[in-house]
């Protein structure tokens, strides 16, 4: 807390005005509207609407399509998080071993962060397209019936790989920083006591890295839930069938294509609760880190 401050009330309020006005108009008002609309049912022509309480929510939660999308989201997000974090941790451990090379490898691995999710999807499409893609064609020639436009599991695999590819660089930066902050003396002491590298990794490095890993898990889940809309929209459009339709994609389909405002709003509200829960978890964790 700062003791010496400037006096005045009008000036600070004036300074806050732009931020608060934008927040109120484009964040709080729409969020309130989403909550309000989630309690209404509109007739198909949008002429009138009536208050239906929580009926939109019970309907959404009972819908097989919504449950399917929830399941897809679970598979997609956990796979993206595991794949992106696992690869990044492995590469970071390798890079940490060479003291001089670490920065060079960081430069070589860092740039996919800047590639938009939708562009990442397109790049992987060029590789895995069944007829023009290098890998896609090779797979078909080898006897694997590869066509992500027909096979739902293959489509899911492709969006997972494209989404994870982009996120590895982010995780790599944080894992490498975490590894480099582990005191060398601790590792040397363990080595002198006869602990082999594998054992040193599981009993010393991994526990000391767990705060970083936990933080990255939350970030990766948030990324997989929300930022990957572009990957799915550009690559599969939720298809084939509804094989790659995630919760966020379904909100878009319901609200923009089917113009079912009540249902779309109810789904938005469910997602809002999810983000609030994830943010709360993240901040509790940061609070703990500050105390220690």
Interacting residues with another protein between 121 and 160 (CB under 8 A): 121-127, 129, 131-134, 137, 149
Stretch that binds another protein, among 46-54, 61-69, 166-174, 202-210 (CB under 8 A): 166-174
Cα–Cα dist 54/52, whole Å? 6
252 binds another protein per the rule CB under 8 A: yes
229 binds another protein per the rule CB under 8 A: yes
Neighbouring CB atoms inside 10 A of 196's CB total 9
Stretch that binds another protein, among 62-70, 86-94, 184-192, 198-206 (CB under 8 A): 86-94
Cα–Cα dist 286/292, whole Å? 10
| Distance from the Cα of residue 38 to its chain's centroid | 25
| Distance from the Cα of residue 271 to its chain's centroid | 13
Tokens of 244: 């790659």
108 binds another protein per the rule CB under 8 A: yes
Beta strand segments in 84-236, E = none
Cα–Cα dist 176/96, whole Å? 7
Among 47, 69, 160, 226, binds another protein (CB under 8 A): 226
Least Å from the CB of residue 62 to another protein: 21
Least Å from the CB of residue 277 to another protein: 9
What is the full DSSP assignment across 227-286? ITHHHHHHHTTT-STTTT--HHHHHHIIIIIS--HHHHHHHHHHHHHHHHHHHHHHHHHH
Cα–Cα dist 155/148, whole Å? 4
Cα–Cα dist 162/223, whole Å? 13
Least Å from the CB of residue 17 to another protein: 9
Q: How far apart are the first and last CA of the chain?
A: 20
Of 10 and 62, which CB lies nearer to another protein in the complex structure? Answer: 10
Stretch that binds another protein, among 49-57, 107-115, 151-159, 184-192 (CB under 8 A): 107-115
Q: Which of residues 21-40 bind another protein (CB under 8 A)?
A: 22-31, 33-34, 37
Among 110, 189, 191, 206, binds another protein (CB under 8 A): 110
215 binds another protein per the rule CB under 8 A: yes
Stretch that binds another protein, among 43-51, 67-75, 108-116, 180-188 (CB under 8 A): 108-116
Among 146, 156, 245, 255, binds another protein (CB under 8 A): 255
258 binds another protein per the rule CB under 8 A: no
90 binds another protein per the rule CB under 8 A: yes
Tokens of 57: 């929510």
Cα–Cα dist 246/156, whole Å? 10
Among 165, 224, 238, 244, binds another protein (CB under 8 A): 165
- Cβ-contact 70, 156 below 8 angstroms: no
Residue in the structure block whose two tokens are 């975490």 = 178
Of 26 and 71, which CB lies nearer to another protein in the complex structure? Answer: 26
183 binds another protein per the rule CB under 8 A: no
57 binds another protein per the rule CB under 8 A: no
Of 79 and 263, which CB lies nearer to another protein in the complex structure? Answer: 263
Least Å from the CB of residue 68 to another protein: 19
What residues have CB less than 8 Å from 287, skipping those under 6 apart?
A: none
């Amino acid at each position: 807390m700062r003791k010496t401050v400037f006096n005045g009330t009008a000036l600070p309020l004036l300074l806050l005005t732009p931020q608060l006005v934008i927040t109120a108009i484009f964040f709080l008002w729409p969020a309130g509207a989403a909550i309000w609309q989630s309690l209404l049912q509109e007739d198909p022509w949008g002429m009138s609407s009536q208050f239906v309480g929580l009926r939109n929510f019970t309907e959404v939660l009972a819908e097989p399509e919504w449950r399917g999308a929830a399941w897809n989201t679970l598979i997609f997000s956990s796979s993206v998080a595991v794949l992106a974090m696992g690869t990044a941790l492995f590469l970071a451990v390798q890079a940490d071993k060479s003291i001089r090379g670490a920065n060079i490898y960081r430069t070589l691995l860092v740039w996919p962060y800047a590639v938009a999710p939708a562009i990442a999807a397109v790049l992987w499409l060029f590789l895995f397209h069944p007829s023009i893609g290098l890998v896609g064609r090779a797979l078909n020639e080898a006897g694997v019936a590869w066509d992500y436009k027909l096979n739902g599991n293959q489509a899911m695999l492709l969006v997972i790989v494209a989404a994870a590819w982009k996120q590895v660089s982010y995780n790599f930066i944080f894992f490498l920083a975490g590894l480099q902050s582990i005191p060398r003396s601790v590792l040397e002491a363990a080595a002198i006591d006869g602990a082999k590298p594998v054992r040193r990794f599981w009993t010393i490095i991994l526990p000391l890295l767990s705060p970083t890993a936990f933080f990255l898990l939350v970030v990766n889940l948030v990324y997989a839930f929300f930022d990957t809309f572009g990957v799915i929209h550009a690559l599969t459009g939720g298809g084939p069938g509804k094989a790659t339709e995630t919760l966020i994609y379904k909100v878009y389909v319901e609200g923009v294509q089917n113009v079912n405002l009540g249902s779309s709003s109810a789904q938005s509200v469910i997602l809002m609760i999810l983000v609030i829960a994830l943010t709360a978890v993240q901040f509790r964790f940061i609070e703990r880190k500050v105390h220690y």
